[in-house]
Amino acid sequence: MKKKILLLATGGTIASLLSDHGLRPGLNAEQILSFIPEIREECDVDAVQVCNIDSTNMSPEIWKQIVCAIEAKYLYYDGFVVCHGTDTMAYTSAALSYMIQNSNKPIVITGSQKPISEDSTDAKLNLLDCIRYAADNASVGVVLVFNGNVIAGTRAKKTYAHSYNAFSSVNFPTLAVIRERRIIRFISQAPFTEPVRFGHRLDDSIVVLKLIPGTKPELVEYLFGHYDCLVIESFGVGGIPDGLREVFYQQMERWISRGKIVVIATQVANEGSNMEVYEVGQQVKQDFHLMEAYDMTLEATITKLMYLMGTYGRDYVSVCDGFYKTINYDILMPSVQ
């Protein structure tokens, strides 16, 4: 019996057509499917249009629409494929990992570097790989499939702007590869024992401060005052520069009791943070018990905080406990805290 797969289209390069002002999404979900008619021999594929945008315009509200669309059809399909633009695809794959948990039905995100209507496109193979992966009995959870690589939804990062191998799995092995229709699994994923859970609340009062040499102290003060969660992308393994320390301490003492959340991450893509290494990080963490991203991607850090803040509000203890709970392979170093 053929598996039933639902394709959810959101626009992106895969759906784009050339206009007078450059590429813009123009194909709908059914039109995208028409470029791979052979898949109908393998699966029963239906399609819905969630939106039709350049992924630069992706937002938490559209993530909620995607989740609602999957939840509404969850009982009727064996797997789900989300067509998406590449620029924010890593954010969406991470967000869906938190908003849809314990899914024994695969939720697979893909896209392309060239429109599906072009002769030299990578879209057809990516889409075929995705649908075949979603139809496989051993597939579960949220993953991103691109250029034959199957990446955990929380570990994907776009690392190439134009190349077909656009996405890398950061600080975690690739789950599987797909070669000539064959799925070669490196990590076997056991079925979930808890029921699937859908979450719809996100709090986007969050901002990222990427430190540069000479960052002005008044910027720190402004961000503390206008956002409920501040993610600081620090240098190396993590720390607060001496030039920012006085205002940082002042702001932490003022705001931490009111539920403001601060997370230290690193600008370095691989191997993660560890504030215990240097004095510039260790003392600050001890004084304020800061949360730390460790080996998480920035995309996972941001979307996980949105989800936790939407779930627990300003309950710092609950947000902190949830942040260090591993979901879809997102963090492997909670014992260091």
Give the active site residues.
13
Closest by alpha carbon to 92, among 149, 142, 19? 142
**309 CB neighbour count, 10 Å cutoff:** 24
Write the CA distances from 194 to 104, 187, 321, integer angstroms.
10, 20, 19
Angle between helices 89-99 and 60-73 (to 10 degrees): 50
Residues 6 or more apart whose Cβ sits within 8 Å of residue 46: 4, 5, 6, 7, 77
Q: What is the DSSP letter of 155?
A: T
Angle between helices 242-255 and 279-288 (to 10 degrees): 10
**55 CB neighbour count, 10 Å cutoff:** 20
Query: Dihedrals φ, ψ of 253, to 5°?
Result: -65, -30
Write the CA distances from 277 to 221, 282, 283, integer angstroms.
26, 7, 10
Task: Answer whether 228's CB lies under 8 Å from 202's CB.
Answer: no
